[in-house]
Amino acid sequence: MLHHLRVLPLLVQMHIRSQMEYRGAFWLDRLAQILSYGSVFASIAILLARFETLGGWNFPELALLFSFQLLAYSLGAALSFVQLRDLEELVRLGTYDTLLVKPFSPWAYLVFSGLNIGYVGHVILAVALMAWATMAVDFNWSIWSALFFVAALISSTLLTAAIITMIGATALIWVRSNHLFAIFFGFWELTRYPLNIFPSGIQFILITAVPLALTSSVPVGALLGKPIPILGDWAGPVSLIAGPLWVLLAIAHWRYATGKYQGAGG
Amino acid sequence: MSAYTAFARSSFQSQLAYRNEVWANIFGKLVQVFARVAIWLAVYAGVGAATLVNGISLQQMITYALLGGAVMGATRPERVINEIGRSLKTGDISVWLLKPLSYPLYLFANESGSFLYRLLTQVFPTVAFTALFYGMLPPESLFHGAMFVAFWAMSFILLFLMSAFCGLIAFWLMTSFSLDWMFGALLNLFSGLMVPFWFFPEPLATLARHLPFGFVVYYPNAVYLGQLSVTQTWLYLGLGLFWTALFFVGVLWLWRKASTRITVQGG
The verdict on a CB contact (< 8 Å) between B177 and A56 is no
Query: Residue A34: its pLDDT value, please?
Result: 96
pTM score: 0.91
Q: What's the CA gap between A143 and B179, in Å, rounded? A: 43
Smallest Cα distance from B151 to chain A, Å: 24
Under the banding of pLDDT at 50, 70 and 90, the label for residue B200 is very high
Q: What's the CA gap between A178 and B255, in Å, rounded? A: 32
Structural domain spans, chain B: 2-260
ipTM (interface pTM): 0.88
The secondary structure of residue B137, as a DSSP letter, is P
- Average pLDDT of the segment spanning B60-69: 91
- β-bridge mates for residue B56, sequence order: B53
Query: Residue A61: its pLDDT value, please?
Result: 95
pLDDT digits (tens, 9 = 90+) for B18-44: 666 777 777 877 888 888 899 999 999
Q: Hey, is the C-beta of A47 within 8 angstroms of any chain B C-beta? A: yes
Task: Give the list of residues 6+ apart from residue B144 with CB closer than 8 angstroms, or none.
Answer: B223, B224, B225, B226, B233
pLDDT digits (tens, 9 = 90+) for B105-157: 888 988 888 888 888 888 888 888 888 888 889 998 999 999 999 999 999 99
Residue of B nearest to A55 (CA): B42
Query: Residue B82: its pLDDT value, please?
Result: 86
Cα–Cα nearest to B112, from B247, B5, B248, B184: B5
Q: Please indicate whether residue B15 or residue A261 has the higher confidence score (pLDDT).
A: A261
Query: Residue B121: its pLDDT value, please?
Result: 84
Per-10-residue mean pLDDT, chain A, length 266: 82 87 87 95 93 92 96 94 87 86 87 89 96 93 94 96 92 82 87 92 91 94 91 91 95 91 70
Cis peptide before A237 (omega within 30 of 0): no
The verdict on a CB contact (< 8 Å) between A54 and B47 is no
Task: Give the list of residues 6+ apart from residue A202 with CB closer than 8 angstroms, or none.
Answer: A190, B31, B34, B35, B38
Query: Residue B1: its pLDDT value, please?
Result: 65
Query: Residue A113: its pLDDT value, please?
Result: 87
